Chain A
Amino acid sequence: MQKTRKMILFCTLALSMILTLSAGHVEARQSPTVITMWHIAVESDSFYSVLPPAIERFNATHTDVQIEAQAIQNDAFKTQIQVAIAAGEQPDIFMTWGGGLLQSYVEGGVVRDIPELDTELGANFIPGGFAPSTFDGKHYAVPANLAGVFLYYNKDLFEQFDLSAPATWDELISSCETFSENGIIPIALGNVNRWTGSFWFMNLVLRSGGPEPFMNAFNRVDGASFTDPAFVEAGTKIQEAVEAGCFGEGFNGVDYPDEQLLFGTGLAAMELQGDWNYAGLLNIDAEIAENSVDVVPFPLLDSEMGDPNALVGGTGQAFAISADAPAEANVALIELLGSEEFGLSVAENGFIPALKGFDQNIEVPIVQKMASLLSQASFVQLAYDQFLPPELAQVHLDTTQQLFGLSTSPEDAAAETEAAAVEILGAE
């Protein structure tokens, strides 16, 4: 008995000593706060030369805060972040495109707002870059770059057939016909991904009805709906282009990388894509990309109607902060993406910075052109599939793909979207 007691006493003492020692050890070391981060700039991604070096610079210049980043390939990322969030195990900072999906995270209490962006710290950012991630006047993400969608065209091919860059829809269709007759794919489109075709739909809605039809339909304003003539018109124009052979055959089974390849190798004469597309074109064939490629705003439906300065775009990549991230995360993220070096690196790598004053640092003329078109924009339409709640976004993408496949009519596609909108957003 005596022996057992002694043993217990000894163990307790030993244990308490170990605990005290280890506690002292922790205090003495003062380990830095670690902030975990997920992004999509894997080695094959064109943002690879921008983001990982910036994180390295940040870690080298900070001792109290360290960012532990993990790069995940784009498509895998979309699934992985959903699973992590469902399990409540999201990283402290993660990539977002803003819009409806981010809003659902806001409503679910997954992310927290970043009030520091309204202070001196956020003064460097171009205010428009916050639009996709601002809800109820609060900012929920820090943008890394801005994005715009433009009509890419191959100058050499256009010259060869005495054509000029299309300024109106009729010019676009007639140039398509010329290319088609001469065995050139008029427009590269990889519509397996569906957002590629959505670019056409959104631009056509914007050209035929301006910004209002979409915003009013989304906000369920009295009398507004997704059956607005602008949406039907967009569908009609898409089918007109398909029937004129503008996209060739089988484009609904082609993916975005192949679309890029078709245009980048000079097999196709046009492509409707975002500014990020250019980095990929450079990889495919730098000579064609540098000498033959140019961009114009999406054509007007007719020369007297619509505003050529309204365009589709928004933020490229932005980063949100998990609600349970360490307090230091807000300032750290703003420092990471708001530094002068970062803006410079974004510009030099051919992207459009979300920071003010770097336009002249963009060395590539075509990117400079896109940046200036974006900064002069009278209205920037955020991509529907990112802006809308995910479920409605899928309906939009599906019906648009069907429009391209000629398997639905513009009226039916509009009605189907509206029916889903009533279910998801509520009646008018």
Chain B
Amino acid sequence: MFDLTGRKALVTGATGGLGGAIARALHAQGAHVAISGTRREALDALADELGAERVHVVETNLSEREAVEALVPTAEAALGGLDILVNNAGITRDNLFLRMKDEEWDAVIAVNLTAAFRLSRAAVKGMMRRRYGRIVNIGSVVGSTGNPGQVNYAAAKAGLVGMTKALAAEVASRNLTVNCIAPGFIISPMTDALNEKQREGILGRVPMNRLGTGAEIAAATVYLASDEAGYVTGQTLHVNGGMAMY
């Protein structure tokens, strides 16, 4: 089950905790993986860890339009095709609504939503031709619940859900699936920086009473990227320890 041998995958934001975990899991299932991110050293370290085979490093800054346009063709050339696109890259520019600057809004929408749109558009072309494709968009629980201080982030993540559904409907007849994963609170440098009180506040909202792991998000990604998930499309899979149920 969930064997990805021979599949070709591109993971954006692979230098982050979540993206790294996703790249590791896809690779472990046998996929060829192109890892994209802004920090070269982190990408190289991940590539070293995964070994010499089936890994390609593509340094990219998704806030730059040209870089976004170039990413899928570059990955397709390196991998010899593209079966799985994981739109994982994301940034935060938190601020209270009344203080939020246009630049903070625009930056988050550009990377978290517009880049995912452009990358998907580029990827769908080849996927349609090959009559196979899996797009997995990494959203967030706050796209469904909202979160104070994150109007930009929540809007972008909710936007991903709508895009996922509309695109899924358009390309379903071509054997392409498009789904979203909505992580809750996941162990990361961001959650490591929380103090005890903040931590308790968060855990109080999670019935499972613990933070999630990157590996748990990666496992959901492997599932949605697999042949076995071929009849699942347009869905959002919430992986959040029960903190919000849909």
Q: Does chain A bind chain B? A: no
